[in-house]
């Protein structure tokens, strides 16, 4: 490996790698308990929905379609992240959750990971309704038949989390590569899932823009000093 390539890898993935490695070395599996619970929940849903008695209950609590009432889709969306798509191998969903959710939980924390994942999934769900309303003629539209497509799985959340974590840890080229890959996916296979991935990325990019704007607004602001009205002594326990 050339020196330039090593330097690029260090700049691109160094902070992310060191953060994940330190957490896994010190805490091991305790570094990402939410991720392990999510993997178990995804596997459980897969087993149950493939049983004759379990398919309909899983659909009732975690299956989202664009034709569903909006309030019902909102209720089902959080669990829809963990219901594997029936037409895809379940190991893919489990690997996505374990790897991307695990890294995100270590780097962002449990609740921020869930918030970004839900935002990305919700953006995809909302786009499906908008795309069907636009119709199949435009580049952002969808055919009316997509309203009946079952929309489940962690892929939109995984894509959104990947972009967000890479941005937060300075892996900008990797984030750009994820975006380009999703664009190519839509060009090669312009289906509902691919366009929902782009919608998820768009939602996360808006979040990143808002956070960057807020961060710039706080630059140069000095913390209050003792003697000012807004200063308070540290709390002692």
* Distance between CA atoms of residues 186 and 103, nearest Å: 26
**What's the pLDDT at 184?**
96
> Tell me: the pLDDT tens digits for 25-55?
999 889 999 999 999 999 999 999 999 999 9
Tracing tokens 């490996």 back to the chain, one arrives at 1
Percentage of the chain exceeding pLDDT 70 = 91
Mean pLDDT of the chain: 89
Per-position b or e across 64-79, b if 16+ CB within 10 A of its CB = bbbebeeeebeebbeb
- 190 sits in the region (left: phi over 0; alpha: psi -120 to 50; else beta) called beta
65-66-67 Cα angle (round to 5)? 90
Other beta carbons within 10 angstroms of residue 90's beta carbon come to 18
Tokens, residue 47 = 């087993």
Average pLDDT for residues 160-188, to the nearest whole number?
A: 95
Q: Give yes or no for a contact between 127 and 195, defined as CB atoms under 8 angstroms apart.
A: yes
* Distance between CA atoms of residues 85 and 152, nearest Å: 6
* Distance between CA atoms of residues 237 and 234, nearest Å: 10
Q: Is the pLDDT of residue 217 over 80?
A: no
SS3 131: helix
SS3 85: coil
Q: Give yes or no for a contact between 216 and 178, defined as CB atoms under 8 angstroms apart.
A: no
**What's the pLDDT at 59?**
92
User: Is 3 buried (19+), middle (13-18) or exposed (0-12) by CB count in 10 A?
Assistant: exposed
Mention every residue, 6+ apart, whose C-beta is less than 8 A from residue 63: 76, 80, 83, 150, 151, 152
Average pLDDT for residues 221-236, to the nearest whole number?
A: 42
Q: Is the pLDDT of residue 224 over 80?
A: no
Other beta carbons within 10 angstroms of residue 61's beta carbon come to 14
SS3 64: strand
pTM of the entire predicted model: 0.88
SS3 204: helix
Reported as a pLDDT band with limits 50, 70 and 90, residue 140 is: confident
């Amino acid at each position: 490996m050339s020196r330039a390539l090593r330097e690029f890898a260090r700049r691109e993935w160094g902070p992310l790698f060191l953060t994940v490695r330190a957490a896994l070395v010190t805490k091991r599996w305790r570094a990402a308990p939410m991720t392990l619970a999510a993997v178990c929940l995804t596997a459980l849903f897969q087993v149950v929905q493939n049983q004759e008695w379990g398919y309909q209950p899983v659909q009732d609590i975690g299956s989202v379609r664009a034709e569903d009432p909006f309030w019902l889709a909102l209720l089902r969306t959080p669990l829809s992240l963990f219901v594997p798509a029936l037409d895809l191998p379940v190991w893919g969903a489990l690997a996505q959750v374990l790897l991307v959710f695990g890294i995100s939980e270590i780097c962002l924390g449990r609740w921020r990971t869930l918030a970004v994942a839900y935002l990305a999934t919700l953006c995809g769900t909302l786009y499906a309704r908008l795309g069907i309303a636009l119709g199949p003629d435009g580049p952002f539209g969808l055919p009316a038949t997509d309203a009946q497509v079952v929309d489940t799985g962690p892929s939109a959340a995984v894509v959104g989390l990947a972009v967000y974590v890479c941005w937060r840890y300075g892996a900008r080229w990797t984030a750009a590569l994820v975006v380009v890959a999703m664009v190519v996916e839509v060009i090669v296979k312009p289906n509902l899932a691919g366009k929902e991935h782009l919608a998820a990325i768009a939602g996360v990019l808006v979040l990143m823009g808002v956070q960057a704007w807020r961060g710039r607004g706080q630059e140069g602001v000095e913390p209050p000093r003792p003697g000012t009205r807004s200063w308070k002594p540290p709390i002692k326990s």
